[in-house]
């Protein structure tokens, strides 16, 4: 096996994925994550039912604008963000609190492989849940527009938008996931740094363009297919992206590079990790 | 560097300002080696150092030539049953063993075979499909033992493995340890139950306050202490008075006590070898007839008392 480490590592990553899904993402504790992922579907589902019953009316393609705003202001900034906090911070921190991390550390697995396996299991879960949430909610909006405003529906580039929203969700899980995985390894109480990240991600709209670029949300919103209708008055205008959005050619590799760098740092950190539950 | 030993070379470990172990030099051969010492003496720290769960501040550790910083190699030949009594929730005993054993890169069939073999060895086949969370303390201890040994490691590190086991299970576990040691494996066991240590150990390592105070076979350790703590021998014979008179003539004998029934003596000597030679001579000359001879303080308990004292809290 020593001659073909990649094959062994891949087998071990799959074993970690299987174990993580079984012990962390199928239990009652995962309900919060499911609810966050389902929240947008529920929101647009309720709207679709209201339109169908005549309690509300369909605004045609305007509804896609509402979806864009909701996706950027709520889904990315809150649902996916806190979903990633719950999933990725607990990958290591949760095991330290439950005093079960040593089971992994006493297996013949390189610690870097353990980081990779845990990250991929978190990413798979997050992408599956939040990707499904994004796709389903978009399809709900599209379906009622299609049923009521057929011409407008046909005119919209829907498959491209759907793929873009899915892609942005995947990148959000990748970027936030890597950051929160590392925080779970670095901090005894990672909630405080998580709140700091949330605040930073929220206030970047008030910051100069250079500082704005040191945030995940800036790149994610740049990749969204529809600029949300922030121009109007109201609280949502506070979160408008000022300045030019970054091109996809820069944003996508940039987010992937950020995630890779943070995962690399986590791998370096875990090499020095000691199990000393008593001191926690 | 010897690849057939577990080596500690000048190893120290501090937790902040708290001493874990200090300047430890050990060379552990195959067989059952027991770590003995009071709470906080450094037994678990030594085990955690050996398995890479904590890193030494100084010094070097090798387990059969492998550094603890190489888990991918180390844990193919080492299994560790820790004192941590925590398990991932929602897993059954079988799932617990199966999932972690798959991390070795084994296929499904081979993993299943090893899991059931280990479950059988610790008598847990019937409870295999129950959740670990519903196990009793003794069952959890046994499932931990199964996990440590399911990949058939050459080195087994067992931290208080008999804790929580009922007398029958203890006897079975001890028999299992003996069987594994007889196969040429290395078993490092910590225990504070000294009569069990006596039963199972090929050699002992005594620790107190982070320092190794003695190591080796218990008789050898005891004989090194004869100057400070004279060896005590119980002798039952037909003429204890005559024997007492003869042993008092020896310069290595420091004390002789007559038994209450006046049929035996408790002799304290600084040179056991010469004392036994004297006994043999007296028997051959027909001066006395021996009923029995037995060392009175050549066990772990006595050595522990001499070196560490009763404040250690071992029983």
Predicted confidence (pLDDT) per residue in A128-184, tens digit: 999 999 999 999 988 877 776 666 666 667 888 899 999 999 999 999 999 999 999
Please state the rounded mean pLDDT for residues A47-55: 82
| CB-CB neighbors (< 8 A) of A12 in chain B | 103, 105
Task: Return d(Cα A31, Cα A165) in angstroms, integer.
Answer: 24
**Residue numbers in A near B79 (CB within 8 A):** 106
Chain A neighbors of B75, CB-CB under 8 A: 106-109
- Judged by a CB distance cut-off of 8 A, whether residue B140 touches chain A is no
Which residue, among B140, B143, B144, B146, has the nearest Cα to B164 in the 3D structure? B140
The residues of A whose Cβ lies within 8 A of any Cβ of B are 1, 8, 11-12, 15-16, 18-19, 22-23, 26-27, 98-100, 102-111, 113, 271-272, 274-277, 279
Residue B229, CB-side half-sphere exposure with 13 Å CA sphere: 17
Residue A55 in this model has a pLDDT that exceeds 70: yes
Question: B33, B67 in Cβ contact below 8 A?
Answer: no
Tens of pLDDT, residue by residue over A241-260, are 555 678 888 889 999 999 99
Range in A147-151, A253-257, B103-107, B248-252 the model is least confident about: A147-151
Decide if A103 contacts B84 (C-beta within 8 A): no
Tokens of A21: 């899904």
Instruction: For chain A, say whether B145 makes contact (Cβ under 8 Å).
Output: no
Best B76, B77, B80, B105 member to test A by mutation, with max A CBs in 10 Å, is B105
pLDDT band at A267 (very low <50, low <70, confident <90, very high): very high
Residue of A215 and A155 predicted with greater confidence:
A215
CA nearest to B157 within chain A:
A106
Instruction: Please report the DSSP string for A1-68 in residue order.
Output: -TT-HHHHHHHHHHHHHHHHHHHHSSSGGGHHHHHHHHHHHHHHHHHHHHHHHTSS---TTHHHHHHH
Q: How far is CA B92 from CA A260, B135, B140, in A?
A: 35, 10, 11
- The residue among B139, B44, B133 whose CA lies nearest residue B87 is B133
Closest-CA residue of A relative to B69 is A271
Mean pLDDT of A73-94: 94
Per-residue tokens: A37:
């992922």
| Over residues B104-122, mean pLDDT | 96
Q: For residue A188, what pLDDT is reported?
A: 82
Of A18, A107, A279, the CB nearest to B104: A107
pLDDT at B181: 95
Chain A neighbors of B54, CB-CB under 8 A? 274-276
Nearest to B86 among A8, A27, A98 (CB): A98
Of chain B, the percentage scoring pLDDT greater than 70 comes to 98
Chain B nearest-CA distance from A195, in A, is 28
Beta bridge pairs of residue B234: B266, B294
| Distance, CA of B83 to CA of B106 (rounded, Å) | 26
Structure token digits, residue A102:
């040593």
A4 pLDDT band (50/70/90 cuts)? low
Which has the closest alpha carbon to B304: B48, B41, B49?
Answer: B41
B10 Rama sector, left if φ>0, alpha if ψ -120 to 50, beta otherwise: left
Calculate how close chain A gets to B59, using CA atoms only, in Å: 16
- Radius of gyration of chain B from Cα atoms? 23
pTM, two decimals, is 0.85
pLDDT at A66: 86
Q: What is the pLDDT of residue A154?
A: 61
pLDDT value at residue B315: 44
Q: Which of B15-29, B157-171, B221-235 has the highest mean pLDDT?
A: B15-29
Residue range B68-84, pLDDT digits in tens: 999 999 999 999 999 99
pLDDT of residue A204: 79
Q: What are phi and psi of A124, to 5 degrees?
A: -60, -45
Least CB-CB distance to A110: which of B71, B79, B95? B71
- Between CA B56 and CA A42 the distance in angstroms is 53
- The interface pTM score, or ipTM, of the predicted complex is 0.83
Handedness of CA B137, B140, B146, B149 (dihedral sign): negative
Q: Give the per-residue pLDDT at A235.
A: 47
CB contact under 8 A, A104 and B82: no
Q: Do residues B229 and B212 lie in contact, with contact meaning Cβ atoms separated by under 8 Å? A: no
- Worst-scoring range by mean pLDDT, A197-211, B55-69, B74-88, B135-149? A197-211
- CB count within 10 Å of CB A108 equals 20
Decide if B86 and A276 are in contact by the 8 Å CB cutoff. no
Q: Residue B222: is its pLDDT beyond 90?
A: no
B187 touches chain A (CB under 8 A): no
Residue of B nearest to A102 (CA): B53
Q: Which residues of A touch B51 (CB under 8 A)?
A: 106
Chain B environment of A116 (Cβ under 8 Å): none
Q: How many CB pairs under 8 A join A and B?
A: 91
CA distance B228 to B230: 6
Q: Which of B40, B70, B71 to mutate to test the interface with A (most CBs of A within 10 A)?
A: B71
Q: Calculate mean pLDDT across residues B191-216.
A: 85
Which residues contact residue B11 at a Cβ distance below 8 angstroms, ignoring those fewer than 6 apart? B21, B23, B24, B25, B49, B56, B58, B59, B60, B61
Structure tokens, A112: 């870097």
Q: What is the distance of C-alpha A245 from the center of its chain?
A: 20
Question: Is B313 in CB contact (< 8 Å) with chain A?
Answer: no
Q: What was the pLDDT predicted at A149? A: 63
- According to the model, what pLDDT value does residue A3 have? 58
Average pLDDT, whole number, for chain A?
A: 86
Interchain pair B75, A100: CB under 8 A: no
Q: Which residues of A touch B86 (CB under 8 A)?
A: 98-100
* Mean pLDDT over each residue of chain B, to the nearest integer: 90
pLDDT number for residue B221:
77
A99 vs B74, B86, B91: nearest CB: B86
**Would the pLDDT of B314 be above 50?**
no
CA-based nearest distance A92→chain B, Å: 13
Q: Determine the pLDDT at residue A280.
A: 45
* Two tokens, residue B97: 């063993």
Residue B128 has pLDDT above 80, yes or no: yes
Residue B60 DSSP symbol: E
- Residue A232 has a pLDDT of 47
Residue B95 confidence (pLDDT): 95
pLDDT of residue A84: 96
- Nearest-Cα residue of chain A relative to residue B107: A11
- Determine the pLDDT at residue B203: 92
pLDDT, mean of residues A223-238: 62
Q: Do B102 and A27 touch (CB under 8 A)?
A: no
The per-residue pLDDT for B160 is 92
Q: Say if residue B313's pLDDT is above 60.
A: no
Q: What percentage of chain B carries pLDDT values higher than 90?
A: 59
Cβ distance of B82 and A22 shorter than 8 Å: no
User: What pLDDT score was predicted for residue A105?
Assistant: 96
- Of the candidates B88, B95, B103, the beta carbon closest to that of A107 is on B103
% of chain A at pLDDT higher than 90: 54
Which range scores top for mean pLDDT: A64-68, A128-132, A218-222, B283-287?
A128-132
> Is residue B50 within 8 Å of residue B63, measured between CB atoms?
yes
Instruction: Say if residues A107 and A37 touch (Cβ distance below 8 Å).
Output: no
Cα B93 to Cα A171, A219, B100, distances in angstroms: 37, 46, 11
Give the relative orientation of helices B108-121 and B93-101 as an angle to the nearest 10 degrees. 130
Domain ranges of chain A: 29-279
A25 contacts on B by Cβ (under 8 Å): none
Residues on chain A touching B104 (C-beta within 8 angstroms): 107-108
pLDDT (mean) for B244-266: 89
What is the residue whose two structure tokens read 């387990």? B63
Q: Which positions ≥6 away from A78 have C-beta within 8 Å?
A: none
Return the pLDDT at A233.
46
């Amino acid at each position: 096996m020593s001659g073909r480490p990649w094959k062994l590592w891949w087998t071990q990553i799959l074993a970690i994925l299987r174990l993580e899904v079984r012990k962390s993402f199928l239990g009652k504790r995962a309900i919060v994550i499911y609810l966050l992922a389902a929240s947008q579907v529920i929101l647009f589902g309720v709207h679709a039912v209201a339109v169908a019953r005549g309690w509300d009316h369909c605004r045609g393609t305007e509804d896609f604008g509402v979806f864009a705003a909701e996706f950027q202001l709520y889904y990315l900034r809150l649902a996916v963000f806190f979903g990633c906090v719950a999933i990725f911070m607990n990958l290591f921190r949760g095991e330290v609190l439950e005093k079960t991390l040593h089971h992994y550390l006493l297996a013949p697995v390189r610690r870097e492989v353990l980081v990779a396996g845990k990250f991929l299991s978190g990413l798979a879960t997050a992408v599956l849940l939040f990707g499904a949430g994004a796709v389903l909610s978009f399809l709900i909006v599209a379906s009622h527009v299609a049923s009521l405003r057929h011409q407008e529906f046909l005119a919209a580039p829907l498959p491209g938008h759907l793929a873009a929203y899915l892609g942005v969700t995947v990148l959000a899980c990748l970027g936030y996931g890597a950051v929160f995985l590392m925080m779970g390894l670095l901090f005894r109480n990672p909630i405080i740094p998580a709140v700091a990240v949330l605040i930073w991600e929220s206030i970047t709209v008030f910051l100069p363009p250079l500082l704005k670029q040191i945030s995940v949300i800036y790149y994610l919103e740049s990749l969204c297919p529809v600029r949300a209708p922030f121009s109007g008055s109201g609280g949502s205008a506070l979160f408008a992206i000022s300045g030019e959005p970054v091109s996809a050619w820069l944003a996508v590799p940039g987010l992937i590079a950020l995630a890779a760098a943070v995962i690399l740092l986590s791998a370096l950190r875990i090499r020095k990790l000691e199990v000393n539950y008593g001191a926690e | 560097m010897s690849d057939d030993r577990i080596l500690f070379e000048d190893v120290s470990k501090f937790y902040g300002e708290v001493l874990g172990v200090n300047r430890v030099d050990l060379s552990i051969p195959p067989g059952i080696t027991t770590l003995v010492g009071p709470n906080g003496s450094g037994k678990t720290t030594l085990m955690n150092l050996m398995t890479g769960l904590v890193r030494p501040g100084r010094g070097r550790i090798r387990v059969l030539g492998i550094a603890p910083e190489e888990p991918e190699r180390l844990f193919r030949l080492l299994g560790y049953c820790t004192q941590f009594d925590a398990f991932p929730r929602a897993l059954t005993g079988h799932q617990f063993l199966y999932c972690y054993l798959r991390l070795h890169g084994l296929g499904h069939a081979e993993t299943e075979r090893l899991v059931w073999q280990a479950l059988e060895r610790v008598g847990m086949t019937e409870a295999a499909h129950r959740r670990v969370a519903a196990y009793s303390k003794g069952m959890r201890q046994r499932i931990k033992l199964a996990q440590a040994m399911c990949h058939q490691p050459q080195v087994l590190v067992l931290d208080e493995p008999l804790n929580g086991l009922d007398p029958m299970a203890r006897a079975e576990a001890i028999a299992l340890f003996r069987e594994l040691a007889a196969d040429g494996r290395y078993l490092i066991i910590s225990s504070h139950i000294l009569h069990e240590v006596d039963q199972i150990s090929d050699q002992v390592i005594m620790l107190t306050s982070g320092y190794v105070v003695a190591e080796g076979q218990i008789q050898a350790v005891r004989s090194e202490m004869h100057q400070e703590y004279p060896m005590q021998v119980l002798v039952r014979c037909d003429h204890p008075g005559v024997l007492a008179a003869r042993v008092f003539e020896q310069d290595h004998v420091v004390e002789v006590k007559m038994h209450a029934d006046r049929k035996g003596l408790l002799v304290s000597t600084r040179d056991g070898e010469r004392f036994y030679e004297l006994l043999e001579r007296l028997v051959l000359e027909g001066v006395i007839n021996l009923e029995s001879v037995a060392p009175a303080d050549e066990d772990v308990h006595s050595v522990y008392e001499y070196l560490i004292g009763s404040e250690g809290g071992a029983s």
